[in-house]
C-alpha cells in the first residue's frame, strides 16, 4: 500500500474544514481530502445566511438567549457563549478577506429568521450566503503553498492504534486504489447525514461518512436522535427537494394548507416564526388533516420587485420548474436538513481519541442542543473550525509515523441491489424515524436495518457502495438513539412519549466496542 505523510489531514472541504486548514497552514503542511470537488458541500447550498450579533439593535447576550431557547434546554451553555462571542470576530475576518455581504447603503443588511428576536442574519447575493463563504475561504486557502487538495478521494477508515489517530485510509476513486495518509492530527469536517432520508435539502455528498468512520475508530457520538427537518422544501414530483429559505418566512411569507387557509396560528402564537421543529410538526399535522402531500408557502403579498431582489436564486430555480413565486403559491413540505448530534468533542474540537478532532456538522459540541437556531450552522463552522485548527497544532511536534498496515476485506454489490437498498433505506427512515416517531416505528426501522447489517461489515472500492455502508451505519445510530430517549425534546418527537420524560436533560451517547452500545451520558 502506498503511504504518504502530512502534518495535518483535513477530511472535508466545507466551511469548518477550510477554516481549520487556514488556521494550520502557516505552521505546517495541510492535506484536504474530499470525495467530490472542493466546492461540493452543504456550505455551498446554505441560502438563508449567517447569524451574528453585529447590528446596532442586537447584542451578543440576546443571540445567546435565542440559541439556548431554540436548543430546548440541551445546549452546552459554554459552547453557545463561545459561538456568539467569537462570531463577530470571525465575520469581520471574512469581510477583510473579501466577503461581499449584502448592504443597505454602507451598512451591513440584516434580516430576521424564525426563533430570532432580532434582525441578525447576514446574507450575500440575496440567498447565496454559503456559496459566498465557500468562495472566500477557498481563495484564502489558495494563498498558502502549504495546502494540498485531494479531490475525488473517499476516506474509508481512520488509522487508530492505542487510542491514537495517526491518519486515514483514502480511496482514490478514479484509480480504485487505497493509500494511507499519515498525519500528526486528523480533523473530521465531513458535514451531515441528510441523505439517509427520502426528503432532504442536503447535497448528495451528505451521507454521514465522518460519523460512521469515527464510530468504527472508537469515537463516542452524542445526540444522534436530534435530526432537524426544515419545514419548507420545494415539493414537486420531478424537482429536487430545493430549500425554501427560513428567511422567506422571516420576511413575512405565510403558510397555507391546500384549501388556501393560513394555519400556523392554530398551532402556536409565534405562527410562521416558531422554531423549525414546531413548524415542521404543524405542517405534517395539517397535511394529515387535509389528506394532502404538501402545503403552500405564500409570498405574493410581498411584492414582485422585493421578492426578485431578496431571493434571486430561489426565484430563478422555482421559475425553472414552472413556478413564479411572485404570483404562484409554492408547494412545500418538510425535509431532513441538519443533524444536531455527531462526534462528541470538547470546546476545542478534541474527541476521545488522541490526535482526532472534529468540527462543523459532523461534530457535537453541544452548541445546538436539541434543535439548532436558524443560521447558526455557518457561524459554528467558522468559530469551531478556527478553534479546532488552532487546537490541532498542539500536535505539531508529534512524530508522524506509519503503523501496522490494515488488511481490507473488499466486496462488491450489484448496482441494482445497491440502488434498491439505498432507496428503501431512505424511505424507511422518512416513514419510521422522521419528523414524528414512536417506539413501534423505531423498532420496525431497527428490525429492517438488522437485515442489512451484513453490508456494513465489508470494504468497498466505489463511492456508491462505501456511502451506502456509512448511511446504513448512521441510520442505525439515529434509530437506536431515538429508542433510548423515551421523551419528546426539541427535534425528537415521540407520540408515545409526548412529555419530556425523566431523563430529558441527559445526553444520549453511542459508541462501538464489540457491538454498538447506547446509553445516557453520566
Active site residue 276: yes
CA–CA distance, 236 with 479 (Å, rounded to integer): 28
What's the DSSP call for residue 239? Answer: S
CA–CA distance, 220 with 460 (Å, rounded to integer): 24
Beta pairing, strands 30-33 & 147-150: parallel
Which DSSP string corresponds to 299-310? -GGG-HHHHHHH
CA–CA distance, 147 with 144 (Å, rounded to integer): 6
Among residues 19, 90, 222, 276, the one annotated as catalytic is 276
At residue 339, φ and ψ (nearest 5 deg) are -110, 120
C-alpha cell at 308: 426578485
CA–CA distance, 259 with 254 (Å, rounded to integer): 14
Full strand arrangement of the beta sheet holding 153-161: 2-5, 177-182, 164-172, 153-161
Cβ contacts of residue 327 below 8 Å, gap of 6+? 300, 304
**Quick one: 514 exposed, middle or buried, by C-beta within 10 A (0-12, 13-18, 19+)?**
exposed
Full strand arrangement of the beta sheet holding 363-364: 363-364, 342-344, 221-222, 508-512, 516-520
The answer to whether the beta carbons of residues 219 and 344 sit under 8 Å apart is: yes
- Angstrom distances, CA of residue 439 to CA of 207, 430, 433, 436, 487: 25, 15, 10, 11, 10
- Picking from 407, 396, 403, 406, the residue whose alpha carbon sits closest to that of residue 6 is 396
CA–CA distance, 231 with 264 (Å, rounded to integer): 12
Buried b (16+ CB within 10 A) or exposed e, 28-64: bbbbbbbbbebebbbbbbbbbbbbbbbbeebebebbb
- Angstrom distances, CA of residue 343 to CA of 7, 84, 188, 495: 22, 22, 9, 28
| Residues with a known catalytic role | 276
Amino acid at each position: 500500500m502506498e503511504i504518504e505523510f502530512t502534518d495535518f489531514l483535513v477530511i472535508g472541504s466545507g466551511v469548518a474544514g477550510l477554516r481549520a486548514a487556514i488556521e494550520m497552514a502557516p505552521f505546517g503542511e495541510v492535506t484536504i481530502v474530499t470525495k467530490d470537488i472542493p466546492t461540493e458541500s452543504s456550505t455551498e447550498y446554505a441560502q438563508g445566511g449567517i447569524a451574528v450579533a453585529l447590528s446596532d439593535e442586537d447584542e451578543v447576550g440576546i443571540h445567546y438567549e435565542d440559541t439556548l431557547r431554540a436548543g430546548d434546554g440541551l445546549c452546552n451553555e459554554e459552547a453557545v457563549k463561545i459561538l456568539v462571542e467569537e462570531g463577530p470576530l470571525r465575520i469581520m475576518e471574512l469581510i477583510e478577506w473579501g466577503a461581499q455581504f449584502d448592504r443597505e447603503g454602507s451598512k451591513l443588511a440584516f434580516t430576521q429568521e424564525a426563533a430570532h428576536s432580532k434582525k441578525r442574519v447576514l446574507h450575500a447575493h440575496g440567498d447565496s450566503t454559503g456559496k459566498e463563504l465557500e468562495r472566500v475561504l477557498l481563495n484564502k486557502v489558495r494563498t498558502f503553498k502549504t495546502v494540498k487538495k485531494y479531490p475525488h478521494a473517499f476516506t474509508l477508515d481512520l488509522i487508530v492504534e492505542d487510542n491514537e489517530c495517526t491518519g486515514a485510509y483514502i480511496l482514490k476513486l478514479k484509480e480504485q486504489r487505497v493509500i494511507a495518509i499519515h498525519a500528526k492530527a486528523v480533523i473530521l469536517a465531513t458535514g451531515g447525514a441528510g441523505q439517509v432520508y427520502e426528503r432532504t435539502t442536503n447535497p448528495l455528498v451528505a451521507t454521514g461518512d465522518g460519523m460512521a468512520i469515527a464510530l468504527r475508530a472508537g469515537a463516542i457520538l452524542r445526540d444522534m436522535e436530534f435530526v432537524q427537518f426544515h419545514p419548507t422544501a420545494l415539493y414537486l414530483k420531478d424537482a429536487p427537494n430545493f430549500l425554501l429559505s427560513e428567511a422567506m418566512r422571516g420576511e413575512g411569507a405565510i403558510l397555507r394548507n391546500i384549501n388556501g387557509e393560513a394555519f400556523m396560528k392554530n398551532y402556536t402564537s409565534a405562527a410562521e416564526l416558531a422554531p423549525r421543529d414546531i413548524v415542521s410538526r404543524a405542517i405534517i399535522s395539517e397535511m394529515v388533516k387535509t389528506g394532502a402531500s404538501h402545503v403552500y408557502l405564500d409570498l405574493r403579498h410581498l411584492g414582485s420587485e422585493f421578492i426578485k431582489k431578496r431571493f434571486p436564486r430561489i426565484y430563478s430555480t422555482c421559475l425553472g420548474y414552472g413556478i413564479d413565486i411572485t404570483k404562484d403559491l409554492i408547494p412545500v413540505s418538510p425535509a431532513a436538513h441538519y443533524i444536531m448530534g455527531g462526534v462528541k468533542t470538547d470546546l476545542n474540537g478534541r474527541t476521545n481519541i488522541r490526535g482526532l478532532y472534529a468540527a462543523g456538522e459532523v461534530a457535537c459540541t453541544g452548541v445546538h442542543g436539541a434543535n439548532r437556531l436558524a443560521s447558526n450552522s455557518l457561524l459554528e463552522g467558522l468559530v469551531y473550525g478556527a478553534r479546532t485548527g488552532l487546537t490541532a497544532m498542539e500536535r505539531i511536534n508529534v512524530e508522524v509515523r506509519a503503523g501496522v498496515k490494515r488488511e481490507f476485506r473488499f466486496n462488491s454489490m450489484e448496482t441494482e441491489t445497491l440502488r434498491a437498498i439505498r432507496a428503501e433505506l431512505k424511505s424507511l427512515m422518512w416513514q419510521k424515524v422522521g419528523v414524528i416517531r414512536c417506539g413501534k416505528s423505531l423498532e420496525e426501522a431497527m428490525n429492517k436495518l438488522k437485515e442489512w447489517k451484513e453490508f456494513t461489515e465489508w470494504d468497498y472500492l466505489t463511492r456508491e457502495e462505501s456511502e451506502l455502508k456509512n448511511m446504513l451505519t448512521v441510520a442505525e445510530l439515529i434509530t437506536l438513539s431515538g429508542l433510548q430517549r423515551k421523551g419528546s425534546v426539541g427535534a425528537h418527537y415521540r407520540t408515545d412519549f409526548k412529555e419530556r420524560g425523566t431523563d430529558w436533560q441527559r445526553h444520549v451517547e453511542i459508541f462501538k466496542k464489540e457491538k454498538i452500545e447506547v446509553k445516557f451520558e453520566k
